[in-house]
Structure 1
Amino acid sequence: MDTDENHGAAPRGEFAGRVALVTGAAQGIGEAVVRALSAQGATVAATDRDALGLKRTVARLAEETGADPAAGPVVPYTLDVTEPGDVTETVTRITRELGPVDVLVNVAGVLRTGPAVETTDRDWGDVFAVNTTGVFHVSRAVVAGMAARGSGSVVTVASNAAGIPRAGMSVYAASKAAAVAFTKCLGLEVAARGVRCNAVCPGSTDTPMQRSLWDGEDVPGSVLDGDLATHRTGIPLRRIARPEDIAEAVVFLASDRARHITMQDLYVDGGATLR
C-alpha cells in the first residue's frame, strides 16, 4: 500500500539495464540529470567538452554514492557537440563500451546576451553551434540506432525563452526555439518506430550560467518580481528552480511513465511564462 511518503514516487531502478547519454554533464542541469538517471539504475555516459569539469563531476558523484569511479555507473566521455566527427566517434565508442543508447538528454548549451542589433556574427554562430547544431549532431548519431531497435527516448533541455520574447536574449532564445522545433520534427519522423522526442523548457535555474547574469550571490529581485523595463514577468512561485527540479522533469519524460508522450515541450519555470 502507498504511504504519504512514497505515493506517486518513481520506482527505484526504473532505468536499470539502460544506457543514457547526457551532454553538458559537467555542471548545472546536466550534472543533475546524470545524478538522477544513475540513481534510477541507468548506466550514464556523461559527456562534456570541459574534460576537467567532467572529471570532477564524476568523482563527486562517485563519492556521494560510494561507487568506484572506474567502474561506473557514470562514465565520462569528453565530447564537443559542435564537431560532427567527434560526435560520431564518441557515440560509437559509448555503444561499444556501454551498449546501445536508450536515452539521450541534450543539455549542452551556451549563453550570449545583448541587443539583437549589436550581436556579432561570431556570437550568433557560437550559440547556434552548441544549442542547435549540437542537438542535431548528437540526435542524428543516436536516434538512428534507437529507431532500428524500435525504442528510445530523447529529451532536449531548451529554455522558456524558446516560447516568449526576452529582451537582450535574442540569439539564445532563437537557438532554443530552433532546438525545440527540431526535436519535435524528429519525434514526428520516428514515432512509428517507437522513439519518443520531447523538450523540457526551464526558466531561471540556479546554475553557473544563471549566476553569470547576477551582480552578487543573491537572486536579483527582478528575477522573482519581474522587470517592466524589459517586459519580463516575475515567477509566480517566488523561487528560481534548482537543477534537480529540471532533472526530475527530464527523468519523467525519459521514463516509461511517459510512454504515450512525444513531441511535447514541458515548461518548468514556476509559472514565469504564464503558460
Structure 2
Amino acid sequence: MRTLDLIFAHPVPPEELFDLVSSFGGVSTGNVDAPAEVSISRGRAWILVHGYPPDRLELAPRWIPLYTEALRAPPRGRVIVHVARATGSEWLAAEFVLAAEEKWDGRFVIDDFADEVVTLDEFHTRLAERHSGFFWPGYDASPRALREARAISVEVLLPAQAQPRTVERFLMSIGAAMHPDDHADASLTRGNARIWVRLREPGVMPSDVNADRLRGHLALLGAPPYHSFALDVFDTEESQRLALEFLEALAAKWALLLILRPDYSVLTMDDIRARAASDPSDPFASGG
C-alpha cells in the first residue's frame, strides 16, 4: 500500500468524515490500533481511510511550515488514505479526494506518494494530463511501474522455523530472481506471469492486521514467534496460477496462513485450494 495525507486548514469533524466514507459504502476494518479506520472497496480496488482528532494530528515538526505555506494557514485537520496496489485503487482514491474537495470546499492540500505537498489545483492538472499516476510528482509509464500498479497484495504468515533467511534460500532454490528492484526481495516469472516477494524482519507481522482476527488461527503455525512476507501478484489469471504454485511449494515445507485485503480474511491453504477449484481466475479475491 501507498499512503496519502490530506492536510486541512480546519478541523475535520469525525461525523462529517463518517458521512463521506459512508457515501462510498465504507465499512470499519475492526483495527483495534485505528478504531476509526474504514475500508472502501469497488471490485478489486480498495482504500483505507481514517482521520485524526484535531488536538492530536501527529504531524512531523519539519512538515508543519510546508503545510502552512501551501494552505496559507496552520494545519488543523488530517485524514490518511492508504491506497492498495490492486487495479483501480488509485482511481478510487482520486474519487475520494474529489468528493472531499466538494464536501469541504477544497480547504486542504495533498501530501502525495513521494512526500510532495500538492495543492488541489496541481492535483487537477495531474488528473487532466494523465491516465494514472495522479499521486506521483512524475508519471512513470515504464512496464515495471505499470505492473506494480496492478498488483494484488497478499500477506503470508509463517511459523517460527521459517526465518526470513530460510525463506530466502527457499526462493533461490526454486529459481526466483533475487532483489530484482528496490521494492522486492525476490520475483518469479513465467511468460507474462509475475509475482514479487517482500520479506520482513524476523518476528515482524503486518502492521495493519488486527491481532484479534488472527487469534483463532495461529495454532496452525505452532508456538511464536511468527514471520511474514508480502506477496504481490500481478493482476492476471496466469500470475495468480503462478502464485498458487508458489504457495503450494511453500506449504509443502511449512504451515502457513494468508491474509487478504481489504477485509483481512484469514485463510488456510485448504481455503485457497477450494477457492481455486471454484474460480481459478480469482482465488485471491477479498470479500471486503
Q: Same fold (TM over 0.5)?
A: no
TM-score by length of 1: 0.27
TM-score by length of 2: 0.26
Give the structure with the larger strand fraction.
2
Give the structure with the larger helix fraction.
1
Q: Highest CA radius of gyration, 1 or 2?
A: 2
